[in-house]
Amino acid sequence: MFKKQIFCFVVVVALAFGFVIGAGAQAANENVHVVQAGDVLWRIAYAHDTTWEVLAEYNGLTNPHLIFPGQVIRIPSGQGQPEVYEPAPPEVYEPFQPDAYDDLRVHVVQAGESLASIARMYYYGEDLILVVQAILEYNNMADDSAIFVGQVLLIPEIQFVTPDVEIHAAPFLTESIVVGAETSWPLGGYLTIPHEASAARPVPGVVLVHGSGPGDRNQTVFANRPFYDIAAYLSANGVAVLRYDKRTLTHGLEVMQAYGSSLTVWEETIEDAILAAELLRQDPRIGDVFVAGLSLGGMLAPRIHASGGDFDGIIILAGSPRNLTDIMIDQNWLSLEASLGMQGLFEERIATLQDLLGDLDTSAFASASWEDITLEYLYGYADIIREWFGLPETISDRDTMWYLLDLMIDGGRGNGFDSWQDAWQYFYEAGNTAILHNLLGIGPEVTFHELSSITIVNIAAGEPEAALAFLLDYIVTAMQAELAVMSFQLAELEAMPAQIEELAEFFASFPYMTEEEAKATEIVPGSFMFAYYFRDMMLNPAPYFLQQAAVPMLIMHGDNDLQVYTEADFNLFKELLAGRDNVSFRLFDGLNHLFMPSVATNLIEMLAEYEIPSQVDAQVLRDMLDWILAHTGSH
């Protein structure tokens, strides 16, 4: 029972330290999707080029129509796997600069909105920090915490100008390499190295170490590739960089079969990082060898050094000296804080649905048009329609829905649809079609066009009552399904605090388990996350290796990191290493866990930012380069 209760929390923090915890047991080339509010299984399947039936069977979902935020959906091998690619030339882009803003747009703040989400609504894909700053300035506001429901904001018209691109004059080579070629776990990767590097003129080299999960050589996170950014910049400026695909990406299924519940960070990360360092040392063009670990890789960097990495310097990027389980608990509380903002919306929607269902009078539909009947329910989807068709936010819900219905009836002229059935199909699929199929007793093999034809044929045959009856059943069933889902989500939300406390107690028991007990304790059934993995890190605490490392260290942190924290993590590094004159600290304003610009205030907004292509901040890259060059040959 306990494991079922904590399910949604453990998977919410699957992104702690980079990305999916315990992914060492993940099948080769397997991808995952962390369910967000509003997701439905068919839409997840569509995004990964598969079907909801395949996902339901692959994940053992007894009721595929009930998924909830935080749940991890595993994607079968070969479907939805992000492509690894190597673009050129190396470039570093400075942030866009707003040239001017004028004209007048008005936005009325809604429940659950933040300045970040408002900025994203009007300037999707642009530099959100600059957009937020422009909104603050335009409205004479001191900070982004002073917005409230109903507040009227003036949205400036910002014209962005493309900055000059810094193309580095020093080219570099990209060489394919294999880490651990003589082992059972060979890993493909790249060595980027300056052209001028030679045995007579060796250059410093850096091994990049991933965060948690099956990371590729670019440490791809949604639309971003931080390891590519780092490698391109450093190698264009005289530093060789070795990056490689992680063992749990290349050999996921084999790793699971070989180690099972005995998997630790040694097999997942440490051993391969040591082999990568040896590969650099064998290259006569490489001089000093450094390690730069991101997230979990940063947390483990001192331990990798002590276990045979023997580096000349250590760079810790968005790491922590705390237990990984403590960070997971913090992330659960942060997730709860973000979710609590949805509580009022859930309650309001439940009340609305209850009122609508209570007020429905079937006799009233005898004289009403089917457009009016449908319209009454469809108001709830107006936001989806506005977003899909690019309609302004100022258009009312009623006008938005009439726009859609006109589109359907008139054939969708000029909007990319061949017929009104195609337009309606999109709208139909914006709801939870799987639930409707299930509750209506209609098999998934019945297509939407076939469903539509039931209504169309009845109307064409002069039987509007039959068509209206079908639509009424559809509407009532959809309302009942949504009410059930909303009630379930609200109950889950109310139970979260007690479950987080229980989860913390559960984690705290790991160090006191025997090896066999820890190997037998799966945190969530089917997750392949075992207590033994975390017990190993608890019994090999990061502070011990951190304080034992005598080599120079650079510790870097973004102050808008929502996965590790300035106060709890970055400042703890400073406390543990106080008095060390060979340790440098860098704190960067407005950067997230990937050292990219961020204005996110919660984990949901953070994930949305990860989907926007960005780059590692230029100052971060320059500071890394300067530090490496300053400490080359210093030992």
Q: In angstroms, rounded to a whole number, what is the distance separating the alpha carbons of residues 542 and 320?
A: 8
Which residues on adjacent β-strands are paired with residue 224?
221
**According to the model, what pLDDT value does residue 42 have?**
67
Which residues on adjacent β-strands are paired with residue 578?
none
CATH 3.10.350.10 fits 2-75, yes or no: yes
Span 576-612, pLDDT tens digits: 999 999 999 999 999 999 999 999 988 878 988 998 8
Which residues on adjacent β-strands are paired with residue 209?
293
What is the per-residue DSSP string for 312-344?
SEEEEES--SS-HHHHHHHHHHHHHHHHHHHHH
Specify the 3-state DSSP secondary structure of 286.
strand
Q: Which two tokens stand for residue 170?
A: 């020093």
Span 40-94, pLDDT tens digits: 676 677 677 787 778 888 887 765 656 665 677 888 876 544 333 333 333 333 3
**β-bridge pairing 203-209 and 286-294:** parallel
Residue 380 per-residue DSSP state: G
What is the per-residue DSSP string for 383-422?
HHHHHHHT--TTS-HHHHHHHHHHHHHHT-TTTT-SSHHH
Q: In angstroms, rounded to a whole number, what is the distance separating the alpha carbons of residues 531 and 521?
A: 6
Instruction: Classify each residue of 53-86 as buried b or exposed e, where b means 16 or more C-beta atoms within 10 Å of its C-beta.
Output: eebbebbebeebbbbbbbbbbbbbbebbbeeeee
Phi/psi for 100 (5° steps) reads: -165, 155
**According to the model, what pLDDT value does residue 329 have?**
93
The CATH architecture annotation of domain 167-323+534-631 reads 3-Layer(aba) Sandwich (3.40)
**β-bridge pairing 240-244 and 203-209:** parallel
**According to the model, what pLDDT value does residue 90 have?**
36
Ranges under pLDDT 70 in the chain: 1-30, 36-40, 42-43, 46, 62-70, 78-105, 111-113, 120, 124-129, 143-146, 149, 159-171, 341-342, 353, 356-382, 384-385, 387-390, 398, 401-482, 634-635
Residue 513 per-residue DSSP state: S
Q: Which two tokens stand for residue 206?
A: 């850096």
Peptide bond into 64 cis (omega under 30): no
Q: In angstroms, rounded to a whole number, what is the distance separating the alpha carbons of residues 48 and 64?
A: 17
**According to the model, what pLDDT value does residue 54 have?**
84
441-445 CB contacts, 8 Å cutoff, 24+ apart: 444/52, 444/53
Residue in the structure block whose two tokens are 């880490």: 179
HEC string for 75-105: ECCCCCCCCCCCCCCCEECCCCEEEEEEEEE
**According to the model, what pLDDT value does residue 474 have?**
58
pTM exceeds 0.75 for this model: no
Same topology for domains 95-163 and 167-323+534-631, yes or no?
no
Under 8 Å between Cβ of 552 and 583: yes
Q: Which two tokens stand for residue 12?
A: 């919410």
Phi/psi for 75 (5° steps) reads: -100, 125
**According to the model, what pLDDT value does residue 630 have?**
95
CATH number of 95-163: 3.10.350.10
Under 8 Å between Cβ of 295 and 563: yes
Which sequence spans correspond to the domains of the chain?
A: 2-75, 95-163, 167-323+534-631, 333-489
What is the per-residue DSSP string for 2-63?
HHHHTHHHHHHGGGGGGS-TTGGGSPTT-EEEE--TT--HHHHHHHTTS-HHHHHHHTT-SS
**According to the model, what pLDDT value does residue 18 have?**
36
**According to the model, what pLDDT value does residue 73 have?**
82
